[in-house]
């Protein structure tokens, strides 16, 4: 039934008409077109904006429907496992993403038109942690193809591609230049952001599918491009960007000027000596925030034993040591402080550690002493034009003292030995389906295309795996859909022995009065009946400030309880897919809408319309909360 809460948020209404819309148009215009009915309902599945905003392409609405209990698991399967299976069709790292993903899906959530976004990232973290605790494994392929694929790079993109290819039965060998797999997950993020046990567990689950790994092998040095091209049926390049970008600023090549990636790598490998007292970090994204928090943390470690000899320590040891109150760390950015690219959570962490943040300034020179070492940075005020171009603005230059300058303004790839793939900008240019131009058996994904999120690399891996699979089966690589995500088809859930109900299942490939437009259409907030949804506060996770975490220990982000995860998932409005609310049946004046028998219905296949009774009054469409019913059969 429709919720009758009269205190609905401003802008929401129980009707879809404006004041003054009382004069009907002629029936000829409204209902008939050339003698045929234009106003019968059709059930249209469309893509929700959360899914469209997810770079990994997760079927977010689908696995939230599992958590909330709308999509029931098979007998003998827990809902946690069912949700895990649905989620990991696109992304094999739900636990990791629950800790580190900035959740662009939540920015697109239609629930914002009612109250707050759904805590998608929090529920994903719960599913990921539950899967690790229960020991869920991926199902190994039933049949091996006999094909071999080389994957260059053992970061999230390379691992995700190996996962997708192994599910299809193709043999995979990962070549990783470092001693451990994980890429940015292991070497580019502080371990207090992502628990090592979660990273290790989710990587091992992929390897257990039968993935061969060769660590400490750098392609381009230890093995050539030609060797891979000869010995494998296809190659996926996920080499990432291993070096921080150094700006073209006088003095920036000083020995105590380094990139943010290098700084974090030294920390995670336990090789970072005690940092000096004055550190200037230039950036504004999440990497720059990580640098500042690590710098504040490492500052409390003396780096020497009592006898004066250097102390070797691990990153974990640093995490358990109290911060140094005298460390001065300043983060500067060309962007305004309120427009930093870093997430609000990360900025708050930096502030909790007394990191000074200064915006709208740009470095114009690095100040050097007689030995060539940096002693400070000269800055000038700046702003940005409407098209994003940085420009200096009026104001005096000023200088800031520094013992260490860290540039966290972007990353570049090391293409030594791989010049054949270099597009001239230290990157690899992809063609359609992420196939490398000029090399049809080679595909690419991740930061080596354009540095972005971990979820982006995972999404690239899925697209490339589909292309590689087609190539290995001697099939044409399919053109990608407009909305290139992991789409759910309601026919997947239809009972195997389902019989036609009043001829509503007309063939194995068609469901009567249903149309799947999810590959090309997005469902927007204005398509929903928003007044159906009462305002329900979001269940936020408990989070430690880094300053408290460093001193007290414990979890940085506390995982939701099971009841909290379920309650939060129920805030999802199931945009673009039937919510099973019964509104259309209750309000139909002709009793033309009826429910599918329980033993034959599936998620999204819940009701149907008897067109011999329907008069095209469009009430069912008006009261459909999810925007699933659209008037105009045949459009």
pLDDT tens for residues 511-552?
567 888 999 999 999 999 999 999 999 999 998 877 777 766
Q: Does residue 353 surpass a pLDDT of 90?
A: no
Strands 234-237 and 148-152, bridge-based pairing: parallel
What does R_g of the chain's alpha carbons equal in angstroms? 28
pLDDT interval class at 317 (50, 70, 90): very low
Q: Does residue 311 surpass a pLDDT of 80?
A: no
Q: Does residue 77 surpass a pLDDT of 50?
A: yes
- The kind and range of the H/E element at 226 are helix 225-231
- Position 374 scores a pLDDT of 95
Q: Does residue 32 surpass a pLDDT of 50?
A: no
Q: Does residue 426 surpass a pLDDT of 90?
A: no
Q: Are 198 and 128 in contact (CB under 8 A)?
A: yes
CA-CA-CA-CA torsion sign (437, 479, 105, 455):
negative
**Distances from the Cα of 323 to the Cα of 267, 296, 357, 358, 549, angstroms:** 15, 6, 18, 22, 10
pLDDT tens for residues 602-613?
888 899 888 888
| Residue 321: both structure tokens together | 């040591």
pTM of the shown model: 0.87
In the sheet with 41-45, reading across from the earlier edge strand, the strands are 514-516, 41-45, 629-631
Where helices occur in 473-535 by DSSP H, the ranges are: none
CA 513 to chain centre: 33
- Position 511 scores a pLDDT of 52
Q: Which domains does the chain have, with CATH numbers?
A: 1-47+487-533+571-635 (no CATH), 52-136+537-563 (no CATH), 148-242+413-472 (3.50.50.60), 244-409 (3.50.50.60)
Q: Which residues is 455 bridged to in the sheet?
A: none
- Position 26 scores a pLDDT of 60
Q: Which residues is 47 bridged to in the sheet?
A: 522
Higher local confidence (pLDDT), 148 or 42: 148
CA–CA gap between residue 216 and residue 569 (Å, rounded):
43
CA atoms within 13 A on the CB side of 115: 17
pLDDT interval class at 446 (50, 70, 90): very high
Q: Does residue 370 surpass a pLDDT of 70?
A: yes
- Position 120 scores a pLDDT of 98
- Position 303 scores a pLDDT of 44
Q: Are 240 and 450 in contact (CB under 8 A)?
A: no
Could you tell me which residues come within 8 angstroms of residue 634 by beta carbon, excluding any fewer than 6 positions away? 42
* Phi/psi of residue 548, nearest 5 degrees: -75, -40
Mean local confidence (pLDDT), 311-316:
36
E strand segments, 216-327? 234-237, 243-244, 257-259, 278-282
CA–CA gap between residue 419 and residue 398 (Å, rounded):
41
CA–CA gap between residue 485 and residue 466 (Å, rounded):
12
* Percent of the chain scoring above 70 in pLDDT: 85
Q: Are 428 and 237 in contact (CB under 8 A)?
A: yes
Provide the 10 A C-beta neighbour count for residue 500: 11
- Position 281 scores a pLDDT of 96
Binning the chain into helix, strand and coil, the percentages to the nearest 5 are 30, 15, 50
Strands 257-259 and 356-358, bridge-based pairing: unpaired
Mean local confidence (pLDDT), 358-362:
96
| Angle formed by the axes of helices 260-268 and 286-298, nearest 10° | 50
Average pLDDT, the chain: 86
């Amino acid at each position: 039934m429709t919720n009758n809460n009269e205190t609905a948020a401003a802008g929401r209404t129980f009707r879809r008409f404006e004041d003054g819309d009382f004069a009907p148009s002629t029936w000829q215009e409204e209902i008939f077109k050339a003698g045929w009915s234009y106003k019968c309902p059709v059930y249209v599945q469309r893509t929700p904006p959360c899914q469209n905003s997810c770079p990994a392409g997760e079927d977010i609405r689908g696995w939230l429907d599992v958590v909330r209990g709308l999509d029931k698991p098979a007998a003998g399967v827990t809902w946690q496992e069912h949700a895990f299976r649905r989620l990991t069709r696109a992304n094999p790292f739900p636990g990791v993403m629950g800790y580190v993903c900035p959740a662009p899906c939540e920015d697109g959530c239609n629930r914002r038109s009612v109250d707050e976004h759904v805590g998608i990232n929090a529920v994903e973290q719960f599913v990921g942690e539950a899967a690790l605790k229960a020991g869920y494994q991926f199902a190994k392929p039933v049949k091996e193809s006999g094909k071999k694929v080389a994957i260059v790079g053992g970061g999230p993109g390379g691992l995700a591609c190996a996962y997708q290819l192994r599910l299809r039965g193709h043999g995979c060998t990962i070549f990783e230049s470092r001693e451990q797999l994980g890429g940015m997950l292991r070497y580019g993020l502080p371990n207090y952001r992502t628990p090592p046990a979660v990273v290790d567990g989710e990587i091992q689950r992929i390897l257990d599918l039968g993935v061969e790994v060769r660590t400490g092998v750098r392609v381009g040095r230890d093995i050539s491009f030609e060797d891979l091209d000869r010995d494998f049926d296809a190659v996926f390049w996920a080499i990432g960007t291993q070096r921080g970008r150094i700006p073209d600023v006088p003095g920036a090549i000083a020995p105590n000027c380094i990139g943010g990636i290098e700084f974090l790598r030294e920390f995670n490998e336990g090789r970072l000596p005690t940092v000096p007292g004055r550190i200037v970090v230039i950036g504004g994204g999440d990497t720059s925030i990580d640098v500042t928090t690590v710098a504040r943390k490492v500052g409390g470690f003396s780096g020497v034993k009592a006898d004066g000899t250097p102390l070797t320590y691990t990153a974990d040891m640093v995490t358990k040591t109290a911060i140094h109150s005298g460390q001065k760390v300043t983060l500067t950015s060309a962007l305004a402080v309120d427009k930093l690219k870093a997430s609000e959570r990360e900025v708050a962490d930096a502030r909790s550690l007394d990191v000074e943040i200064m915006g709208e300034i740009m470095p114009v020179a690095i100040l050097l002493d007689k030995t060539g070492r940096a002693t400070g940075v000269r800055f000038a005020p700046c702003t940005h034009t409407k098209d994003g171009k940085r420009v200096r603005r009026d104001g005096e230059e000023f200088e800031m003292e520094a013992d260490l300058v860290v540039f966290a303004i972007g990353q570049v790839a090391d293409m030594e030995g791989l010049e054949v793939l270099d597009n001239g900008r230290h990157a690899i240019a992809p063609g359609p389906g992420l196939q490398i131009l000029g090399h049809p058996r080679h595909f690419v994904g991740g930061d080596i295309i354009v540095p972005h999120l971990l979820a982006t690399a995972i999404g690239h891996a899925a697209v490339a795996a589909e292309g590689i699979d087609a190539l290995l089966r001697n099939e044409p690589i399919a053109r990608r859909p407009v909305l290139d995500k992991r789409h759910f088809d309601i026919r997947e859930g239809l009972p195997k022995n389902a019989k036609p109900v009043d001829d509503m299942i007309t063939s194995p490939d068609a469901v009567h009065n249903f149309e799947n437009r999810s590959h090309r259409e997005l469902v927007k907030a204005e398509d929903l009946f928003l007044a159906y949804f009462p305002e329900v506060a979001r269940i936020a996770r408990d989070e430690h400030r880094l300053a408290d975490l460093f001193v007290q220990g414990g979890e940085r982000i506390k995982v939701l309880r099971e009841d909290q995860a379920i309650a939060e998932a129920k805030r999802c409005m199931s945009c673009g897919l039937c919510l099973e609310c019964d509104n259309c049946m209750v309000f139909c004046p002709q009793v033309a809408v009826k429910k599918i028998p329980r033993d034959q219905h599936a998620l999204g296949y819940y009701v149907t319309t008897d067109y011999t009774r329907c008069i095209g009054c469009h009430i069912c469409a008006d009261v459909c909360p999810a925007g699933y019913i659209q008037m105009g059969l045949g459009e």
